[in-house]
Amino acid sequence: MLKRVFFTLALLSVIQIVPLVHAQSKKSVQDPVAAEFPYQYYPENLPDPSLAKYFPKTWTTYASNEGRNAVFSLPKTAPAVLRKGVNWKFAGAGAIRLDGPPVNNSVITTAYGIGMPVGASVVNGIAYIGSDNGYTYALNAMTGKLIWAHYGWNMNMSNPLVADGRVFVSTGSAYFNYANTMLYVKGKRPTRGPGLNSLYALDARTGKEIWAYHFAGEAMPTAAYEDGFLYIGTGDGHVYKISAETGKPEWISDIVSFVSMSSPVLNGKYVFLGGTDPNYFYALDKETGRVAWKITIPRLVATGMGDCTPAYSDNIVVQEATVETGDTHNPVANVLLALNADNGKTVWQRRFAKGPVPPAMKTATPVIAEGKVFEGSPVTGDYYAFDLKSGRELWKVHLGAQIRAGAALAGGVLYVPYKSGDIAAIRASDGTLLSDKHIGGAFGPSSPVVVGGTLYVSNIYGWLMAMPLSQLDGTSMASLRGTSNP
């Protein structure tokens, strides 16, 4: 049994090792679970209220809003340290060197074992981050110091949601066990996600568990919060509406399709998400859970509609999928769909260049901002901008390595993490590549967050990092922003 797990914390450029068992005295040392996974709470690391007040107050959906552009500006009166940006690195349990090879030379093994694949939520001066080693961490967003850690007994691939003084975390395994693999082979309905698949409500300040709801299948996507309810699709082929106060379901809708990583997006009427086997994109009535409409396209690959997290704006919902091309050498291509939110009819559709089959997730996260859709291709490593209403391609830039992450558009610059461990800074108006900074490790579907002059981003080597924008875009224009959010 592990006696001690270590976290690496970096305050600005200083890295220090903190033992995980610091707060074990709050639980009996006779409890073997507490001994291995002790509850941790370090109130001395809570943020200064005078700085915390400049951060977002809630986080209610994947990447903070329906357009998936998690960017928060600051007034000119905000402290200079926030406008210029902070710089620290936090290594979760089991994290490996950013300049080293992946575990067993496998990016997938690394991501599924220790990765922080999806990205942070930054609220009230605290950065919340989930890890595939089972932990949810709360860190001081200014210093990177650990405030608390909660163990969830399964992989955590979600943005922690923050509302009403609580943090909501969903967990679940990416795998199929043998019995469910055999069901799939026989053409019967499988359930994805062995182990304890859960949605937790935690105290936002202390990390204490308030309630837990357990699903038959994985709950890897990020839920969506609205008006006291949480909406989520899972690996057991259902979509749930759950009371954020009690953890009890309001309704459970059987869509049959298992939901892989498609975090729902909400509008005034519907819950939108993608599902696999059968491959459909769904709109469900928020009040009843009934399917209002669903669509599919031919020749979908693998998890099909179930991997991509959709974006929404101006009554258009945007989703990416991957299809077969019929070309032996370049067998797949990404397809971007813009759908009428009322009826699912196609507003426009664009197929990207064909290429080899990417490992693991085969779609990226679309971002809608300033009337444009920004989207990457995991197949070719190209990054695109389209007009939201017409679908007209505005520009394309080739980054090379696979792109699964979303982007953050701040001060006219798109910040795009991608697999090779780099963050590209792209001028949003014309696609000019301003800089391409190598960070190390590798980036999966992590959506970056910008607060003032700081970019927060996690990677699949087990790290959450905060860095000034001025280090990424090759200029100083973005680091002193005091204007309104783009």
Classify residue 270: in a domain, yes or no.
yes
Q: pLDDT digits over 183-194, tens only?
A: 989 999 999 999
Q: How far apart are CA 373 and CA 362, in angstroms?
A: 18
What confidence tier does 304 reach under pLDDT thresholds 50, 70, 90?
confident
Mean pLDDT on 452-481: 82
Where is average pLDDT lowest: 22-31, 103-112, 306-315? 22-31
Sign of torsion over alpha carbons 340, 345, 349, 355: positive
Q: What percent of the chain has pLDDT over 70?
A: 89
Checking DSSP bridges between strand 463-468 and strand 88-91, what pairing results, if any? antiparallel
Domain housing 120: 6-471
Say if residues 60 and 161 touch (Cβ distance below 8 Å): yes
Classify residue 17: in a domain, yes or no.
yes
Tokens of residue 340, six digits = 């009428």
Mean pLDDT on 438-462: 96
Sign of torsion over alpha carbons 380, 257, 259, 69: positive
Q: How far apart are CA 240 and CA 355, in angstroms?
A: 36
Any idea how long the chain is?
A: 486
Classify residue 266: in a domain, yes or no.
yes
| pLDDT at position 473 | 82
Instruction: Tell which residue, 235, 239, 267, has the closest CA to residue 253.
Output: 239
Cβ-based burial of 312 (10 A; exposed 0-12, middle 13-18, buried ≥19): buried
Torsion of CA 440, 412, 479, 76, to 10 degrees: -150
Mean pLDDT on 325-334: 95
Task: Give yes or no for residue 477 having a pLDDT over 70.
Answer: no
Say if residues 165 and 204 touch (Cβ distance below 8 Å): yes
How many helices (H) and strands (E) are present in the chain, helices listed first? 5, 36
| pLDDT at position 104 | 93
Q: How far apart are CA 370 and CA 463, in angstroms?
A: 31
DSSP three-state, residue 434: strand
Q: pLDDT digits over 264-288, tens only?
A: 999 999 999 999 999 999 999 999 9
| pLDDT at position 408 | 98
Instruction: Tell which residue, 97, 131, 136, 94, has the closest CA to residue 116.
Output: 131
Q: How far apart are CA 459 and CA 118, in angstroms?
A: 8
Classify residue 99: in a domain, yes or no.
yes
**Average pLDDT in the chain:** 90
What confidence tier does 39 reach under pLDDT thresholds 50, 70, 90?
confident
Chain center to CA of 59: 12
Say if residues 155 and 220 touch (Cβ distance below 8 Å): yes
Q: Which residues pair with 291 in a beta bridge?
A: 284
Say if residues 134 and 171 touch (Cβ distance below 8 Å): yes
Task: Give yes or no for residue 5 having a pLDDT over 80.
Answer: no
| pLDDT at position 164 | 96
Q: pLDDT digits over 402-425, tens only?
A: 899 999 999 999 999 998 899 999
Classify residue 486: in a domain, yes or no.
no
Classify residue 479: in a domain, yes or no.
no
Task: Read off the DSSP letter of residue 404.
Answer: -
- The distance in angstroms from the start CA to the end CA of the chain is 50
Q: How far apart are CA 146 and CA 8, in angstroms?
A: 9
Q: How far apart are CA 43 and CA 212, in angstroms?
A: 24
Rg (CA), the chain: 21
Task: Read off the DSSP letter of residue 346.
Answer: E
Q: How far apart are CA 456 and CA 405, in angstroms?
A: 13
| pLDDT at position 303 | 83
Task: Give yes or no for residue 258 having a pLDDT over 70.
Answer: yes
Classify residue 278: in a domain, yes or no.
yes
Where is average pLDDT lowest: 96-105, 199-208, 238-247, 358-367? 358-367
What is the value of pTM for the model shown?
0.91
| pLDDT at position 168 | 98
> In 11-29, which positions are buried (b, 16+ CB within 10 angstroms) versus exposed (e)?
beeeeeeeebbeebeeeee
| pLDDT at position 16 | 33
The CA-atom distances, in angstroms, between 479 and each of 12, 426, 482 are 16, 15, 9
CATH number at residue 310: 2.130.10.10
Question: What order do you get walking across the sheet with 121-123 strand by strand?
Answer: 40-41, 146-151, 135-140, 126-130, 121-123
Checking DSSP bridges between strand 71-72 and strand 449-451, what pairing results, if any? parallel
Where is average pLDDT lowest: 105-109, 168-172, 467-471? 105-109
Task: Give yes or no for residue 485 having a pLDDT over 60.
Answer: no
The CA-atom distances, in angstroms, between 180 and each of 132, 189, 217 are 22, 8, 11
| pLDDT at position 302 | 80
Q: How far apart are CA 320 and CA 335, in angstroms?
A: 6
Q: Which residues contact 43 (CB under 8 A, 6 or more apart)?
A: 147, 206
Torsion of CA 61, 64, 67, 68, to 10 degrees: -100
Q: How far apart are CA 218 and CA 215, in angstroms?
A: 7
Tokens of residue 202, six digits = 């935690």
Task: Give yes or no for residue 4 having a pLDDT over 50.
Answer: no
Structurally, the chain folds into a number of domains equal to 1
Say if residues 159 and 225 touch (Cβ distance below 8 Å): no
| pLDDT at position 360 | 72
Q: pLDDT digits over 344-400, tens only?
A: 999 999 999 999 998 776 899 999 999 999 999 999 999 999 999 999 999 999 998
Instruction: Tell which residue, 342, 354, 341, 359, has the closest CA to residue 444.
Output: 359
Classify residue 183: in a domain, yes or no.
yes
